[in-house]
Amino acid sequence: MGHVVDGAFSGVDDAMGSISSFDIRRIHTTAELEKSLSINVEASGGCGCFSASGRFDFAQSSKIQSSSLFLLISAKVTLPFHGIDEPKLSGSAAAISSNPELFQSRYGNMFVNGVGRGGMFLAVLQMDTASSEEAQAVSMELSGSYGLFSADAKMKMAEAFP
């Protein structure tokens, strides 16, 4: 397998810089955790431990109960898109372009014109308590704290990824 196109690779002119987000919030149900992890019934794709199926397996293994306190910590960075400015067939691809079957078997029927870049960090903090009342009390005590932490972390993310 070779590459089917040649061309200069660069960012998009006048594109904004990176976009970042940071959030800490309490999770009450497994369904809410699945939604927060961007999981749906038809979800598939991704790579390695960051795939949708990996997030689904994690959500299913997290036993969210009323006596447990779950906090979801998430950070996401989306970097500017990079693409091939003026794609053209590579020399080896052009040489076999008159043979559709060979071209298809060697290069397929599509090519990568660009790359969306970025990353996502997800953490789930679980605190087990003796009762749902105690979990609620701990949640009330922490709500102001993780709200302030979240705001401070958002500012630091904005400074790190302008």
pLDDT tens per residue across span 33-54: 777 776 544 444 444 444 455 5
Domain residue ranges of the chain, discontinuous segments joined by +: 5-28+64-157
Query: How far apart are alpha carbons 20 and 69 in whole angstroms?
Result: 26
Give the mean pLDDT of the chain.
74
The encoded tokens of residue 135 equal 């979990």
Most confident among 13-17, 102-106, 154-158 (mean pLDDT):
102-106
pLDDT of residue 98: 94
pTM (2 d.p.): 0.54
Percentage, residues of the chain above pLDDT 70: 64
Specify the higher pLDDT residue, 148 or 22.
22
* Spatial CA neighbour of 26 closest among 17, 39, 38, 36: 36
What is the DSSP code string of 50-86?
A: GSHHHHHHHHHHS---TTEEEEEEEEEEEEEEEEESS
Segment 101-142, tens digit of pLDDT: 999 999 888 888 888 889 888 888 888 778 878 777 777 777
